[in-house]
Structure 1
Amino acid sequence: MAKSSDFRQKEVINIRDGKRLGVIIDMEFDLHAGRITAIVVPGPSKLMGFLKGEGDYVIPWEKIKKIGDDVILVDVEPKKFES
């Protein structure tokens, strides 16, 4: 069994272009189904790291292809993550 804190220490990498998207900063849950529906990684920061949150990337659970010991591999359109 995994804990949510285990996920926050893993780096998310897009398998389409090899880009490192960052570490998970949040997760979305379906409380009725009792499952994770998406992971959230930080978007590009503004003003040297301030004002984060508005542009964070939400990656649907279905886009996760592999969860390893250190990384999570996702398959998402690279254009979605361009600033």
Structure 2
Amino acid sequence: MAVVAGNAATLHAFLPLLLIAFVEVARVVLPEMTERGDGAFLMAIGYPAARPVAGRSGPTAVMAAARNRVHTLNGEVADAGVYAGTSPSAP
């Protein structure tokens, strides 16, 4: 039987760096961008966020959540002339 690496404690440890920081930065910079009707919010993410890698279920789950949030955010700010996207790093 395979051992599952990810658990709640593992996920919790990665939340501040890989998800909460992004949410807070977006909260600070997006109002000005939407007000002027121009801007781009680009988040560099690890490759496993888009293509899961065995043995990295802790950070990968949190990176995937951040990736999903960016894509959702893009739909919310696109009409205001702002782009939100990701730039995955190579494996």
TM-score range normalised by the length of the shorter chain? under 0.3
The structure whose RCO (Cα within 8 Å, separation 6+) is larger is: 2
Q: Name the structure with the higher helix share.
A: 2
Q: Return the index of the structure with the highest Cα Rg.
A: 2
Q: Name the structure with the higher strand share.
A: 1
